[in-house]
Amino acid sequence: MILIDFSQTIIAGLMAQLKSTGGEMNEKLLRHMILNTLRNYQKRYSAEYGKMVLCTDAIHPWRRDFFPQYKANRKKTRDKDDKDWGMIFNTLHKVKDEIEEHFPYHVLHVKGCEGDDLIAVLVMNTTSPTLIVSGDKDFQQLHKYNYVDQWSPNLNKMIQCDDPEKFLKEHILKGDKTDGVPNVLSNDNCLDEGIRQTPLRRPILEKYLRISIEKDDKYYRNYVRNQTLIDFANIPQELVDRILKVYDTTHPTHKAEKVFDYLRVNKLDMLLEHIEDFRL
Protein backbone atom coordinates (compact mmCIF):
# COMPACT_ATOMS: atom_id res chain seq x y z
CA MET A 1 0.00 0.00 0.00
CA ILE A 2 0.90 3.64 -0.51
CA LEU A 3 -0.57 5.44 2.50
CA ILE A 4 -0.90 9.17 1.86
CA ASP A 5 -1.14 11.46 4.88
CA PHE A 6 -3.46 13.61 2.79
CA SER A 7 -3.57 16.95 4.63
CA GLN A 8 0.11 16.94 5.62
CA THR A 9 1.28 15.93 2.15
CA ILE A 10 -0.85 18.48 0.33
CA ILE A 11 0.09 21.32 2.69
CA ALA A 12 3.77 20.47 2.17
CA GLY A 13 3.24 20.63 -1.58
CA LEU A 14 1.31 23.86 -1.23
CA MET A 15 4.16 25.57 0.62
CA ALA A 16 6.58 24.59 -2.14
CA GLN A 17 4.10 25.74 -4.81
CA LEU A 18 3.62 29.14 -3.16
CA LYS A 19 7.36 29.73 -3.29
CA SER A 20 7.47 29.00 -7.01
CA THR A 21 4.38 31.08 -7.86
CA GLY A 22 5.29 34.07 -5.71
CA GLY A 23 2.40 33.47 -3.34
CA GLU A 24 -0.32 33.09 -5.99
CA MET A 25 -2.91 30.40 -5.25
CA ASN A 26 -6.52 29.76 -6.23
CA GLU A 27 -8.88 26.80 -6.40
CA LYS A 28 -7.87 25.78 -9.93
CA LEU A 29 -4.13 25.86 -9.15
CA LEU A 30 -4.66 23.98 -5.90
CA ARG A 31 -6.80 21.32 -7.60
CA HIS A 32 -4.10 20.80 -10.23
CA MET A 33 -1.38 20.60 -7.56
CA ILE A 34 -3.30 18.02 -5.49
CA LEU A 35 -4.03 15.75 -8.43
CA ASN A 36 -0.57 16.08 -9.93
CA THR A 37 0.98 15.20 -6.56
CA LEU A 38 -1.12 12.03 -6.33
CA ARG A 39 -0.38 11.18 -9.97
CA ASN A 40 3.35 11.39 -9.32
CA TYR A 41 3.20 9.11 -6.26
CA GLN A 42 1.03 6.62 -8.13
CA LYS A 43 3.42 6.58 -11.09
CA ARG A 44 6.59 6.42 -8.99
CA TYR A 45 5.67 3.87 -6.33
CA SER A 46 2.66 1.73 -7.32
CA ALA A 47 4.75 -1.01 -8.94
CA GLU A 48 6.63 -1.59 -5.67
CA TYR A 49 3.97 -0.87 -3.04
CA GLY A 50 0.61 -1.40 -4.73
CA LYS A 51 -2.57 0.61 -4.40
CA MET A 52 -2.80 4.12 -3.00
CA VAL A 53 -4.94 4.99 0.02
CA LEU A 54 -5.67 8.61 0.92
CA CYS A 55 -5.87 8.92 4.71
CA THR A 56 -7.81 12.05 5.67
CA ASP A 57 -8.56 13.87 8.93
CA ALA A 58 -11.90 13.99 10.71
CA ILE A 59 -12.95 17.41 11.98
CA HIS A 60 -12.89 16.53 15.69
CA PRO A 61 -10.21 13.92 16.55
CA TRP A 62 -10.45 11.73 19.65
CA ARG A 63 -7.21 13.18 21.03
CA ARG A 64 -8.92 16.53 21.50
CA ASP A 65 -11.52 14.91 23.74
CA PHE A 66 -8.74 13.32 25.78
CA PHE A 67 -6.59 16.48 25.82
CA PRO A 68 -8.40 19.74 24.89
CA GLN A 69 -5.11 21.57 24.30
CA TYR A 70 -4.21 19.18 21.47
CA LYS A 71 -3.26 21.25 18.38
CA ALA A 72 -5.05 24.24 19.94
CA ASN A 73 -2.40 26.73 18.79
CA ARG A 74 -2.54 25.82 15.10
CA LYS A 75 -5.56 28.03 14.39
CA LYS A 76 -3.90 30.93 16.24
CA THR A 77 -0.82 30.51 14.04
CA ARG A 78 -2.91 30.40 10.85
CA ASP A 79 -4.85 33.50 11.89
CA LYS A 80 -1.57 35.45 11.95
CA ASP A 81 -0.70 34.20 8.46
CA ASP A 82 -1.61 36.07 5.27
CA LYS A 83 -2.60 32.92 3.35
CA ASP A 84 -6.26 32.30 2.56
CA TRP A 85 -6.58 29.20 4.75
CA GLY A 86 -10.36 29.21 4.38
CA MET A 87 -10.05 28.76 0.62
CA ILE A 88 -7.24 26.23 1.05
CA PHE A 89 -9.12 23.97 3.45
CA ASN A 90 -12.42 24.32 1.58
CA THR A 91 -10.66 23.27 -1.62
CA LEU A 92 -8.94 20.38 0.13
CA HIS A 93 -12.29 19.01 1.31
CA LYS A 94 -13.94 19.66 -2.04
CA VAL A 95 -11.21 17.95 -4.06
CA LYS A 96 -11.08 15.05 -1.59
CA ASP A 97 -14.78 14.42 -2.28
CA GLU A 98 -14.23 14.77 -6.03
CA ILE A 99 -11.37 12.25 -5.92
CA GLU A 100 -13.57 9.80 -4.04
CA GLU A 101 -16.25 10.11 -6.72
CA HIS A 102 -14.13 10.12 -9.88
CA PHE A 103 -10.72 8.52 -9.26
CA PRO A 104 -9.54 4.94 -8.58
CA TYR A 105 -8.04 5.81 -5.20
CA HIS A 106 -9.22 4.50 -1.87
CA VAL A 107 -10.25 7.59 0.15
CA LEU A 108 -10.47 6.80 3.86
CA HIS A 109 -12.31 9.06 6.30
CA VAL A 110 -13.34 7.83 9.75
CA LYS A 111 -15.25 9.82 12.37
CA GLY A 112 -13.06 10.79 15.33
CA CYS A 113 -9.79 9.81 13.62
CA GLU A 114 -6.88 11.67 12.11
CA GLY A 115 -5.01 10.51 9.04
CA ASP A 116 -2.26 9.40 11.44
CA ASP A 117 -4.65 6.93 13.07
CA LEU A 118 -5.75 5.48 9.75
CA ILE A 119 -2.17 5.01 8.59
CA ALA A 120 -1.05 3.45 11.88
CA VAL A 121 -3.95 0.98 12.04
CA LEU A 122 -3.50 -0.12 8.42
CA VAL A 123 0.26 -0.57 8.94
CA MET A 124 -0.31 -2.64 12.08
CA ASN A 125 -2.78 -4.88 10.27
CA THR A 126 -0.76 -5.82 7.19
CA THR A 127 2.53 -7.49 6.36
CA SER A 128 2.69 -6.24 2.77
CA PRO A 129 5.26 -3.67 1.58
CA THR A 130 3.93 -0.29 2.69
CA LEU A 131 5.03 3.26 1.93
CA ILE A 132 3.94 6.07 4.25
CA VAL A 133 3.97 9.42 2.45
CA SER A 134 4.35 12.02 5.19
CA GLY A 135 7.01 14.12 6.86
CA ASP A 136 5.43 13.55 10.29
CA LYS A 137 8.06 12.22 12.69
CA ASP A 138 5.39 10.31 14.66
CA PHE A 139 5.46 7.62 11.97
CA GLN A 140 9.04 6.69 12.81
CA GLN A 141 7.66 4.50 15.60
CA LEU A 142 6.18 2.33 12.81
CA HIS A 143 9.63 1.73 11.33
CA LYS A 144 9.87 -1.24 13.69
CA TYR A 145 7.94 -3.13 11.01
CA ASN A 146 10.42 -4.27 8.38
CA TYR A 147 7.86 -3.86 5.59
CA VAL A 148 7.43 -0.10 6.19
CA ASP A 149 9.19 2.76 4.39
CA GLN A 150 8.51 6.47 4.79
CA TRP A 151 8.87 9.21 2.21
CA SER A 152 8.96 12.83 3.41
CA PRO A 153 7.55 15.36 0.90
CA ASN A 154 9.05 18.14 3.04
CA LEU A 155 12.59 16.75 2.84
CA ASN A 156 12.12 15.08 -0.56
CA LYS A 157 13.75 11.87 0.67
CA MET A 158 13.17 8.63 2.53
CA ILE A 159 13.25 8.90 6.32
CA GLN A 160 15.31 6.36 8.28
CA CYS A 161 14.97 5.52 11.97
CA ASP A 162 17.61 3.17 13.36
CA ASP A 163 15.96 2.63 16.76
CA PRO A 164 12.16 3.09 16.59
CA GLU A 165 11.59 2.01 20.20
CA LYS A 166 14.08 4.52 21.60
CA PHE A 167 12.68 7.18 19.28
CA LEU A 168 9.15 6.56 20.59
CA LYS A 169 10.08 6.76 24.26
CA GLU A 170 12.16 9.90 23.70
CA HIS A 171 9.32 11.45 21.73
CA ILE A 172 6.90 10.71 24.58
CA LEU A 173 9.28 12.26 27.12
CA LYS A 174 9.93 15.38 25.03
CA GLY A 175 6.35 15.84 23.89
CA ASP A 176 5.48 17.52 20.60
CA LYS A 177 5.31 21.31 20.62
CA THR A 178 3.76 21.49 17.15
CA ASP A 179 0.80 19.43 18.42
CA GLY A 180 0.54 21.28 21.73
CA VAL A 181 1.87 18.31 23.74
CA PRO A 182 4.26 19.48 26.51
CA ASN A 183 7.23 17.49 27.79
CA VAL A 184 6.61 15.21 30.77
CA LEU A 185 7.95 17.78 33.25
CA SER A 186 5.41 20.42 32.22
CA ASN A 187 1.76 21.15 32.94
CA ASP A 188 -1.02 20.55 30.42
CA ASN A 189 -1.71 24.19 29.60
CA CYS A 190 1.81 25.63 29.29
CA LEU A 191 2.02 25.59 25.47
CA ASP A 192 -1.57 26.72 25.00
CA GLU A 193 -1.02 29.70 27.32
CA GLY A 194 2.47 30.54 26.07
CA ILE A 195 4.16 29.56 29.34
CA ARG A 196 7.75 28.32 29.10
CA GLN A 197 8.08 24.57 29.57
CA THR A 198 10.14 23.13 32.40
CA PRO A 199 13.41 22.27 30.61
CA LEU A 200 13.93 18.54 30.04
CA ARG A 201 17.70 18.54 30.38
CA ARG A 202 19.82 15.78 28.90
CA PRO A 203 20.69 14.04 32.23
CA ILE A 204 16.98 13.78 33.13
CA LEU A 205 16.10 12.59 29.63
CA GLU A 206 18.82 9.93 29.72
CA LYS A 207 17.65 8.77 33.15
CA TYR A 208 14.08 8.22 31.98
CA LEU A 209 15.22 6.56 28.77
CA ARG A 210 16.97 3.93 30.92
CA ILE A 211 14.15 3.17 33.35
CA SER A 212 10.45 2.35 33.37
CA ILE A 213 8.32 5.14 34.79
CA GLU A 214 6.25 3.64 37.61
CA LYS A 215 3.02 4.91 39.13
CA ASP A 216 4.81 6.39 42.14
CA ASP A 217 6.98 8.62 39.93
CA LYS A 218 5.89 12.27 40.14
CA TYR A 219 5.90 12.54 36.35
CA TYR A 220 3.95 9.31 35.74
CA ARG A 221 0.68 11.11 35.07
CA ASN A 222 2.26 13.37 32.42
CA TYR A 223 4.06 10.40 30.87
CA VAL A 224 0.73 8.59 30.45
CA ARG A 225 -0.76 11.78 28.99
CA ASN A 226 1.94 11.95 26.32
CA GLN A 227 1.98 8.21 25.72
CA THR A 228 -1.76 8.26 25.02
CA LEU A 229 -1.37 11.11 22.54
CA ILE A 230 1.78 9.91 20.76
CA ASP A 231 2.03 6.10 20.89
CA PHE A 232 -0.15 4.58 18.16
CA ALA A 233 -0.58 1.48 20.35
CA ASN A 234 -2.93 3.66 22.43
CA ILE A 235 -5.47 4.31 19.69
CA PRO A 236 -8.78 3.24 21.29
CA GLN A 237 -9.82 -0.25 20.21
CA GLU A 238 -13.27 1.02 19.24
CA LEU A 239 -11.63 3.30 16.67
CA VAL A 240 -9.27 0.57 15.45
CA ASP A 241 -12.30 -1.61 14.72
CA ARG A 242 -14.10 1.29 13.03
CA ILE A 243 -11.11 2.06 10.80
CA LEU A 244 -10.76 -1.55 9.66
CA LYS A 245 -14.49 -1.84 9.00
CA VAL A 246 -14.58 1.34 6.90
CA TYR A 247 -11.48 0.24 5.00
CA ASP A 248 -12.97 -3.19 4.24
CA THR A 249 -16.37 -1.86 3.17
CA THR A 250 -15.47 1.14 1.00
CA HIS A 251 -14.30 0.66 -2.56
CA PRO A 252 -12.96 3.19 -5.10
CA THR A 253 -14.39 3.75 -8.55
CA HIS A 254 -12.62 2.02 -11.45
CA LYS A 255 -14.36 3.72 -14.39
CA ALA A 256 -11.70 5.31 -16.60
CA GLU A 257 -14.23 7.57 -18.33
CA LYS A 258 -15.00 9.28 -15.02
CA VAL A 259 -11.37 10.41 -14.72
CA PHE A 260 -11.40 11.70 -18.30
CA ASP A 261 -14.68 13.58 -17.86
CA TYR A 262 -13.52 15.13 -14.59
CA LEU A 263 -10.23 16.39 -16.03
CA ARG A 264 -11.97 17.73 -19.14
CA VAL A 265 -14.75 19.54 -17.24
CA ASN A 266 -12.23 21.14 -14.87
CA LYS A 267 -9.97 22.15 -17.78
CA LEU A 268 -7.00 20.26 -16.38
CA ASP A 269 -5.41 19.93 -19.82
CA MET A 270 -1.87 19.19 -18.62
CA LEU A 271 -3.16 16.29 -16.54
CA LEU A 272 -5.24 15.00 -19.45
CA GLU A 273 -1.96 14.45 -21.30
CA HIS A 274 -0.97 12.02 -18.54
CA ILE A 275 -4.34 10.37 -17.93
CA GLU A 276 -2.82 6.87 -18.05
CA ASP A 277 -0.95 7.65 -14.83
CA PHE A 278 -4.27 7.83 -12.95
CA ARG A 279 -5.31 4.30 -13.88
CA LEU A 280 -4.54 1.32 -11.68
pLDDT value, residue 88 = 84
Helix 220-230 vs helix 164-174: crossing angle, to nearest 10: 120
Please measure the distance between the N-terminal and C-terminal CA atoms of the chain and give it in whole angstroms.
13
Give the mean model confidence (pLDDT) for residues 68-78: 85
Give the mean model confidence (pLDDT) for residues 267-280: 88
- Listed residue (279, 273, 271, 275) closest to 36, CA to CA: 271
Task: Decide if pLDDT at 82 tops 80.
Answer: no
Residues 101, 46 within the same domain: yes
Does residue 273 lie in a domain region?
A: no
Give the mean model confidence (pLDDT) for residues 139-144: 98
Residues 44, 117 within the same domain: yes
Q: How far apart, in whole angstroms, are the C-alpha atoms of residue 205 and residue 218?
A: 15
Does residue 66 lie in a domain region?
A: yes
Task: Decide if pLDDT at 11 tops 70.
Answer: yes
pLDDT value, residue 14 = 80
Q: What is the greatest pairwise CA distance in the chain?
A: 65
| Mean pLDDT lowest among 142-146, 254-258, 272-276 | 254-258
Task: Decide if pLDDT at 127 tops 90.
Answer: yes
Task: Decide if pLDDT at 80 tops 80.
Answer: no
Residues 211, 241 within the same domain: no
Residue 126 belongs to domain spanning: 2-161+236-254
Q: How far apart, in whole angstroms, are the C-alpha atoms of residue 113 and residue 94?
A: 19
pLDDT, tens digit (0-9, with 9 covering 90-100), for 191-232: 988 899 999 999 999 999 998 888 888 999 999 999 999 999
Tell me the whole-structure pTM to 2 decimals.
Answer: 0.93
- Give 16's pLDDT tier (boundaries 50, 70, 90): confident
| Residue 208 and residue 175 in contact, taking contact as beta carbons nearer than 8 Å | no
Number of domains in the chain: 2
Residues 130, 6 within the same domain: yes
Residues 189, 140 within the same domain: no
pLDDT value, residue 12 = 83
Q: How far apart, in whole angstroms, are the C-alpha atoms of residue 267 and residue 170?
A: 49
Task: Decide if pLDDT at 170 tops 80.
Answer: yes
Helix 115-124 vs helix 6-21: crossing angle, to nearest 10: 130
- Give 270's pLDDT tier (boundaries 50, 70, 90): very high
Does residue 268 lie in a domain region?
A: no
| Residue 180 and residue 72 in contact, taking contact as beta carbons nearer than 8 Å | yes
- Listed residue (221, 186, 229) closest to 63, CA to CA: 229
Does residue 149 lie in a domain region?
A: yes
Burial class (CB in 10 A: 0-12, 13-18, 19+), 201: exposed
| Mean pLDDT lowest among 78-82, 128-132, 174-178 | 78-82
| Mean pLDDT lowest among 112-121, 182-191, 245-254 | 245-254
**11: Cβ–Cβ under 8 A, 6 or more apart, which residues?**
none
pLDDT, tens digit (0-9, with 9 covering 90-100), for 107-117: 999 999 999 99
Q: How far apart, in whole angstroms, are the C-alpha atoms of residue 9 and residue 154?
A: 8
Task: Decide if pLDDT at 151 tops 70.
Answer: yes
DSSP secondary structure code for residue 180 in this structure: T
pLDDT value, residue 23 = 66
Residues 111, 178 within the same domain: no
Burial class (CB in 10 A: 0-12, 13-18, 19+), 272: middle
When the pLDDT of each residue in the chain is averaged and rounded to a whole number, the result is 92
Which comes out higher in pLDDT, residue 75 or 133?
133
Using left for φ > 0, alpha for ψ between -120 and 50, and beta otherwise, residue 37 falls in: alpha
